[in-house]
């Protein structure tokens, strides 16, 4: 049985909603996004994710006239039955206050119509900020967003402390976009818990440092299990980004099947796993037997196929 999730994508005009949607779900590369035109009213996209999960993306045009419409005449239609709202802020926006007020209105409308929806905010286009100031700017913007979220949530007496789940900084030019979307998607996939449980067992059997499960088309991280601490907490989205770039660059001629990268201190296997996933197994031993590991991956496949 397939389950549908309604995902609203909102934000000021030109903040990058369609760009990020195209990169994650439609295999665009960052450079191509400059060709995208503004979205008129609402663009609907159905994305099949992990086989039976269908994301119904509502990419809402951000021009003011559309926004007014959404908030007044189309209010019910837009904000009913929403599972997730993703609100995109342009970090360099000159009218951030105004953006925030629109955000507040949207959030109020959302909480009225679908009080259970989860809200994620992306502070986008972070690449335009100099690297030294990124964290600082993000913190400032995040505080603003949280303040307005609270304002919106107060009259509705929501049980949650804050209407917004999480703020992310993102940029289409680096891996932060994958981080944000992986976290969002993680909340949408059913039985992630069981999958992680199984992955942990599998990791223990293989004596692997780490196992990561990726969605096949988007290469977003669905689940992961680690048996040893790794110093780099951003590695998942980095790997997503690396492999996705590689997949895209060789897409016109070939399709990736599997990959084995090693040196003396590690050995990493990336392989097609179930019909909807790729798996990555990282072993500490650089001399790990290739055939044995690949066989193990193959044998684990049916167990995970049952889960989907």
Partner 1 sequence: MSDNSDVEVEDEEEYKYGLQDDSEPQDTRPTVVLMGQKRSGKTSIRKVVFQKMSPNETMFVESTARITKDTVCSSFINFETIEFPGQMCPFDHTLDPVNTFKKCGALLFIIDAQDDYTDAIRKMADYFAKAYRINSKIKFEVFVHKADGLTEENRVETKFEVYHAVKEELKELGIKDLQVTYHLTSIYDHSIFEAFSKVVQNLVRQLPTLERLLDIFNQGSNVTKSFLFDISSKIYVATDSLPVEMSIYELCCDMIDVTLDISSIYGSGEYGIPFDEHSAAVIKLKKTESWSFYSAKSIDSWHSSRLCAVRTSKSRDISNTTSPVSRRASKKYST
Rg (CA), the chain: 20
What does the alpha-carbon distance between residue 34 and residue 205 come to, in Å, rounded to a whole number?
47
- What are the residues binding partner 1 (CB under 8 A)? 31, 127, 173, 209, 230, 232, 235, 238-239, 242-243, 245-246, 249-250, 252-266, 268, 282, 286-287, 290
Would residue 165 be called left, alpha or beta, if left means φ above 0 and alpha means ψ between -120 and 50 degrees?
alpha
Closest approach of Cβ 164 to partner 1, in Å? 30
Nearer of residues 52 and 258 to partner 1, judged by Cβ: 258
Nearer of residues 33 and 151 to partner 1, judged by Cβ: 33
Nearer of residues 158 and 248 to partner 1, judged by Cβ: 248
Closest approach of Cβ 73 to partner 1, in Å? 41
Closest approach of Cβ 133 to partner 1, in Å? 14
Would residue 90 be called left, alpha or beta, if left means φ above 0 and alpha means ψ between -120 and 50 degrees?
beta
Closest approach of Cβ 125 to partner 1, in Å? 13
Nearer of residues 71 and 248 to partner 1, judged by Cβ: 248
DSSP assignment of 76-96 equals HHHHTT-SEEEEEEETT-TTH
Nearer of residues 118 and 240 to partner 1, judged by Cβ: 240
Q: Residues 89, 15: contact at Cβ < 8 Å?
A: yes
Closest approach of Cβ 283 to partner 1, in Å? 9
Residues 6+ apart with CB under 8 A from 266: 209, 282, 283, 284, 286
């Amino acid at each position: 049985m397939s389950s549908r999730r309604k995902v609203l994508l909102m934000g000021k005009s030109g903040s990058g909603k369609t760009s990020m949607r195209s990169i994650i779900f439609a295999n665009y590369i960052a450079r191509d996004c400059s060709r995208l035109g503004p979205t008129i009213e609402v663009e609907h996209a159905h994305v099949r994710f992990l086989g039976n999960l269908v994301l119904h993306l509502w990419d809402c045009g951000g021009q003011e006239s559309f926004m007014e419409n959404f908030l007044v005449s189309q209010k019910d239609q837009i904000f009913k039955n929403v599972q997730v709202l993703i609100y995109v802020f342009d970090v360099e926006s000159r009218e951030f206050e105004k953006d925030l007020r629109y955000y507040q209105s949207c959030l109020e409308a959302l909480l009225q119509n679908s009080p259970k929806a989860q809200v994620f905010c992306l502070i986008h286009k972070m690449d335009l900020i100099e690297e030294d100031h990124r964290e600082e700017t993000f913190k400032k913007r995040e505080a603003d967003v949280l303040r307005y979220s609270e304002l919106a949530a107060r009259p509705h007496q929501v049980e949650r402390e804050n209407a917004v789940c999480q703020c992310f900084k993102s940029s289409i030019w680096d891996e932060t976009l994958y981080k944000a979307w992986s976290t969002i998607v993680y909340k949408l996939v059913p039985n992630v818990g069981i999958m992680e449980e199984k992955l942990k067992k599998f990791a223990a059997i293989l004596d692997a440092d780490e196992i990561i499960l990726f969605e096949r088309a988007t290469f977003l991280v669905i689940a992961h299990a680690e048996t040893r601490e790794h110093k780099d907490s951003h590695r998942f989205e980095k790997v997503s980004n690396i492999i996705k770039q590689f997949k895209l660059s060789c897409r016109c001629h070939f399709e990736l099947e599997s990959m084995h990268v090693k040196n003396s201190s590690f050995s990493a296997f990336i392989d097609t796993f179930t019909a909807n996933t790729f798996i990555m197994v990282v072993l500490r031993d650089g001399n790990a037997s290739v055939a044995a590991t690949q066989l193990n991956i193959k044998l684990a496949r049916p167990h995970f196929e049952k889960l989907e």
